[in-house]
Amino acid sequence: MKKLFFVIALLISIIIRSNAQIFTPSEKMVNSALLDYLKKMNLTNRDQVFQTSQVVIGDLNNDGKPDAVVRYILGLSMGNAITGSGIVVFLNTGNSLNFVTDYQDKPGAMLKSIKNGILFIEVLIYGPEDARCCPSIKSKTGLMLDNNKLKEIN
């Protein structure tokens, strides 16, 4: 009889865990967190606009919760000059996103995916004949959280 109760309790526990909702950040929530970050860092003013360039959702700190990594671009509101860009990491607390770190990205960086706690990005590097405006060689690299900072890995 004790074995039967143990098996039933175990099955109920498995069913509850499999039906548990995992908080996944929405696009609106990510954009709001990014705007809060830009304001806090004093990167917004009336002459600048920001654009969320890319968002990748995945578990960056290996806690089982989907985190958000955002690449943003800052530009002048009049014209097409880019005044800055970067990558920002927001960790999922279970019910909200918390800013953890930012990272100065490279020209033409593209967020690809998050797998096994590694953020994979593609960057453009300069070839021997490239003009200063236009790096042309695609290179892939990975970034990992280490003491709440993004560190490049090989």
pLDDT of residue 49 exceeding 70: no
**Of 133 and 58, which is predicted with more confidence?**
58
pTM: 0.73
Higher pLDDT, 142 or 24: 142
**Residue 15 pLDDT > 60:** no
Between 132 and 112, name the one with better pLDDT: 112
Give 6's Cβ-side CA count (13 Å radius). Answer: 3
Tokens at residue 83, please?
């005044």
Sign of CA dihedral 24, 75, 137, 144: negative
Report which of residues 21 and 81 the model is more confident about: 81
